[in-house]
Protein backbone atom coordinates (compact mmCIF):
# COMPACT_ATOMS: atom_id res chain seq x y z
CA UNK A 1 0.00 0.00 0.00
CA UNK A 2 1.13 3.53 -0.73
CA UNK A 3 3.30 4.64 2.21
CA UNK A 4 1.91 8.16 2.44
CA UNK A 5 -1.64 6.88 2.41
CA UNK A 6 -0.85 4.33 5.06
CA UNK A 7 0.79 6.97 7.20
CA UNK A 8 -2.43 8.96 7.27
CA UNK A 9 -4.37 5.90 8.36
CA UNK A 10 -1.87 5.10 11.10
CA UNK A 11 -2.13 8.67 12.31
CA UNK A 12 -5.89 8.20 12.63
CA UNK A 13 -5.33 4.90 14.48
CA UNK A 14 -2.93 6.56 16.92
CA UNK A 15 -5.46 9.31 17.58
CA UNK A 16 -8.19 6.71 18.08
CA UNK A 17 -6.17 4.99 20.80
CA UNK A 18 -5.32 8.21 22.59
CA UNK A 19 -8.88 9.52 22.55
CA UNK A 20 -9.78 6.69 24.93
CA UNK A 21 -6.84 6.74 27.33
CA UNK A 22 -3.38 8.13 28.01
CA UNK A 23 -0.70 5.71 26.85
CA UNK A 24 3.09 5.50 26.87
CA UNK A 25 5.03 5.16 23.64
CA UNK A 26 5.67 1.48 23.57
CA UNK A 27 2.09 0.66 24.55
CA UNK A 28 0.86 2.63 21.54
CA UNK A 29 3.20 0.82 19.20
CA UNK A 30 2.39 -2.66 20.47
CA UNK A 31 -1.36 -1.94 20.58
CA UNK A 32 -1.26 -0.95 16.91
CA UNK A 33 0.87 -3.89 15.89
CA UNK A 34 -1.77 -6.28 17.29
CA UNK A 35 -4.14 -5.15 14.58
CA UNK A 36 -2.12 -3.89 11.66
CA UNK A 37 1.23 -4.54 10.07
CA UNK A 38 3.40 -1.62 11.09
CA UNK A 39 6.73 -2.96 9.88
CA UNK A 40 6.69 -0.66 6.87
CA UNK A 41 5.99 2.47 8.87
CA UNK A 42 7.56 4.03 11.91
CA UNK A 43 5.11 5.10 14.61
CA UNK A 44 7.35 7.26 16.76
CA UNK A 45 7.78 10.08 14.21
CA UNK A 46 3.99 10.31 13.97
CA UNK A 47 3.69 10.53 17.76
CA UNK A 48 6.36 13.17 17.95
CA UNK A 49 4.90 15.32 15.23
CA UNK A 50 1.38 15.14 16.64
CA UNK A 51 2.89 16.26 19.95
CA UNK A 52 4.83 19.12 18.37
CA UNK A 53 1.65 20.23 16.61
CA UNK A 54 -0.09 20.43 19.98
CA UNK A 55 -2.45 17.49 19.48
CA UNK A 56 -0.87 15.61 22.37
CA UNK A 57 0.78 16.61 25.60
CA UNK A 58 3.18 14.44 27.48
CA UNK A 59 3.81 13.81 31.14
CA UNK A 60 6.08 11.47 33.06
CA UNK A 61 4.76 8.83 35.38
CA UNK A 62 6.66 6.37 37.53
CA UNK A 63 6.45 2.73 36.47
CA UNK A 64 6.82 -0.37 38.58
CA UNK A 65 9.90 -1.43 36.65
CA UNK A 66 12.28 1.45 37.16
CA UNK A 67 12.52 4.57 35.04
CA UNK A 68 9.46 6.79 34.61
CA UNK A 69 7.54 6.55 31.37
CA UNK A 70 6.42 9.32 29.10
CA UNK A 71 2.66 9.25 28.64
CA UNK A 72 0.89 10.87 25.73
CA UNK A 73 -2.38 12.65 26.42
CA UNK A 74 -4.75 14.07 23.84
CA UNK A 75 -5.41 17.80 24.05
CA UNK A 76 -8.63 19.57 23.15
CA UNK A 77 -6.99 20.65 19.91
CA UNK A 78 -6.10 17.02 19.26
CA UNK A 79 -9.69 15.98 19.85
CA UNK A 80 -11.02 18.51 17.35
CA UNK A 81 -8.44 17.33 14.82
CA UNK A 82 -9.34 13.71 15.48
CA UNK A 83 -13.06 14.30 14.94
CA UNK A 84 -12.37 16.04 11.66
CA UNK A 85 -9.98 13.37 10.43
CA UNK A 86 -12.37 10.63 11.47
CA UNK A 87 -15.28 12.24 9.60
CA UNK A 88 -13.16 12.63 6.49
CA UNK A 89 -12.03 9.07 6.74
CA UNK A 90 -15.57 7.75 7.23
CA UNK A 91 -16.86 9.72 4.27
CA UNK A 92 -13.99 8.51 2.12
CA UNK A 93 -14.06 4.89 3.13
CA UNK A 94 -17.86 4.82 2.86
CA UNK A 95 -17.58 5.93 -0.75
CA UNK A 96 -14.84 3.42 -1.48
CA UNK A 97 -16.86 0.65 0.08
CA UNK A 98 -19.85 1.43 -2.09
CA UNK A 99 -17.78 1.44 -5.22
CA UNK A 100 -15.92 -1.79 -4.61
CA UNK A 101 -19.02 -3.61 -3.46
CA UNK A 102 -21.50 -2.22 -5.94
CA UNK A 103 -22.13 -5.64 -7.39
CA UNK A 104 -22.29 -7.45 -4.08
CA UNK A 105 -19.62 -8.70 -1.73
CA UNK A 106 -19.18 -12.24 -2.93
CA UNK A 107 -16.08 -13.02 -4.99
CA UNK A 108 -17.90 -15.81 -6.83
CA UNK A 109 -20.67 -13.50 -7.97
CA UNK A 110 -18.17 -10.94 -9.22
CA UNK A 111 -16.21 -13.64 -11.01
CA UNK A 112 -19.38 -15.03 -12.56
CA UNK A 113 -20.46 -11.67 -13.91
CA UNK A 114 -17.02 -10.87 -15.26
CA UNK A 115 -16.86 -14.22 -17.02
CA UNK A 116 -20.30 -13.80 -18.58
CA UNK A 117 -19.48 -10.32 -19.74
CA UNK A 118 -16.12 -11.14 -21.32
CA UNK A 119 -16.88 -14.59 -22.79
CA UNK A 120 -19.51 -13.87 -25.36
Partner 1 sequence: MKQFLNDLRTELKSKGFSDFEIADIISDHEEMFQTAMNDGQSVEEILSKLGNPKRLASDLADSEHKTTHDEMDSDYHLWQSFPGPFVALNVFVKMINEDIVYRRSANDAVHILYEGDGKVSDYNLSLDGEQLRLESKKERGFFLFGHGRILNFVIEIPDGLEMLEHHGVNGDYQLLGIKGKGAKIVTTNGDMQLEDLSFDTLTWHTVNGDIDAKHLKLRQLESHQVSGDIDMTDSEVRERFYVHTVSGDIDVNHAQIGSLDIETVSGDFSGEECYPKEISFRSVSGDIDVKNRTRTEIKILNTRSISGDINIDH
Of 31 and 86, CB closest to partner 1:
31
Q: Is 43 exposed, middle or buried (0-12, 13-18, 19+ CB in 10 A)?
A: buried
Alpha helices in the chain (DSSP H): 3-20, 25-35, 44-52, 76-100, 107-118
Q: Closest distance between partner 1 and the C-beta of residue 15, in Å?
A: 15
CB count in 10 Å sphere of residue 18: 23
Q: Closest distance between partner 1 and the C-beta of residue 89, in Å?
A: 19
Which residues contact partner 1 (rule: CB under 8 A)? 24-27, 29-30, 33, 38-39, 41-46, 48-49, 52, 58-60, 63, 65-70
Q: Closest distance between partner 1 and the C-beta of residue 104, in Å?
A: 38
Amino acid sequence: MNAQFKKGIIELCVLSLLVEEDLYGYAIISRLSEFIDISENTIYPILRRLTLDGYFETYLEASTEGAPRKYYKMTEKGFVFYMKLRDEWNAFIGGVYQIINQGGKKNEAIFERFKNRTQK
